[in-house]
Amino acid sequence: MLTRKQHELLSFIHDRLAETGVSPSFEEMKDALDLKSKSGVHRLISALEERGFIRRLPNRARALEVLKVPERTTAAKPAPAPATPAILKTPARSLPTAANDVLEIPLHGRIAAGLPIEALEGQSSLSVPAALLGPGDHYALEVSGDSMVEAGILDGDFALIRRTDTARDGEIVVALIDDAEATLKYFRREGAMVRLDPANRAYDPMRYRPNQVRVQGRLAGLIRRY
């Protein structure tokens, strides 16, 4: 049986999803239930999840799905209590689902940090509009430097990278050089060599043997904060 606060929170989430298609934020839930901190919201969410009333949608920001809702009581007169709590199992089609408009992807650090990408795994995450990402697994890198400015990639931008270990000529890739330094450059083959081209006339192309370069992803999009 749900506590009063659990019931209030579930109703608030359900109503907000029905109205907007997007889950309320933890701050909004805290204010709606007149709680002192968001830790109380976390406890209520966990309890509802354990009891099968809601579930969290993976890799999405602010994404909750209501699986079932308790029967709401509207009459002032007490009704005979059933032997077990009555649950309305609403058909799946009528339950609102959080809009898939924002995804959380790993943010691995600055592309010119001088470390392999693997050394930066799991540092933090970045909320990204789903429309900027296609199929596949993605991560983000903060761009450092001006070597790609003529491609519209500026210092401080966030490069959205689709994980892959292959690339075609002319694609912008994350290249790991000698397993030590990651760089964002145009990828090209030049005879028996691999050439990494900057997009800035002030910088020269870099040439390496194929065994020195490991492609770790292709540029899929860009986010700039003003």
185 part of the active site: yes
Please tell me which residue in 37, 39, 68, 185 is annotated as part of the active site. 185
Of 142, 85, 91, the closest CA to residue 113 belongs to 142
Q: In what helix (H) or strand (E) does residue 27 lie, and over which residues does it extend?
A: helix 26-32
Of 183, 208, 173, 179, the closest CA to residue 119 belongs to 179
How big is the CA angle at 84 (ends 78 and 85), to the nearest 5 degrees?
A: 65
Residue 193, beta-bridge partner list? 190
23 part of the active site: no
Q: Where are the beta strands (DSSP E) in 30-180?
A: 54-56, 64-66, 69-70, 87-88, 102-110, 124-129, 138-142, 158-162, 172-177
Query: Can you tell me the distance from the alpha carbon of 136 to that of 117, in angstroms, rounded to the nearest whole number?
Result: 18
How far apart, in Å, are the Cα atoms of 209 and each of 38, 164, 167, 212? 53, 19, 16, 5
Query: Can you tell me the distance from the alpha carbon of 89 to that of 74, in angstroms, rounded to the nearest whole number?
Result: 18
The two structure tokens encoding residue 126: 């970045």
Instruction: Using the structure block, give the residue that is written with the tokens 């993976």.
Output: 58
The catalytic residue positions are: 147, 185
